[in-house]
Amino acid sequence: MNGRPGSEGRLDVHAEGPVLRVVLTGAVDLVVRERDAPALWRALDAPGVHDVQVDASGVTFLDSTGLSVLVRLARDAAERGLPLRMAAVSPRVADLLEQTGVGDWMATLADVH
């Protein structure tokens, strides 16, 4: 990823003790969902995971399939009783979460757990 808008996107997952850190960068689209998301779904079930933090500060583009990754992550984390926190978001992600209502929905899931 070279940091310019439109650059290839990535979804990286890092276990940091009990925290599962999800880092999204670049253009998060169908390619990222198909290529990178399966590792995320497996990591959610790893023993010892107690918290999920998402860093989307490096996202330059997020389409509906990219947004679906965040929706599924929020739902799956909630089903497992794992708190999910959006640690950082780019302006593009913040706008999309607000415009679609997904940000408010994610907040209600967090309030339940």
Q: Confirm if 26 and 9 have CB atoms less than 8 A apart.
A: yes
Q: Give tens-digit pLDDT for 17-74.
A: 999 999 999 999 999 999 999 999 999 999 999 999 999 999 999 999 999 999 999 9
Contacts of 95 (CB under 8 A, 6+ apart): none
Is the whole-model pTM more than 0.75?
yes
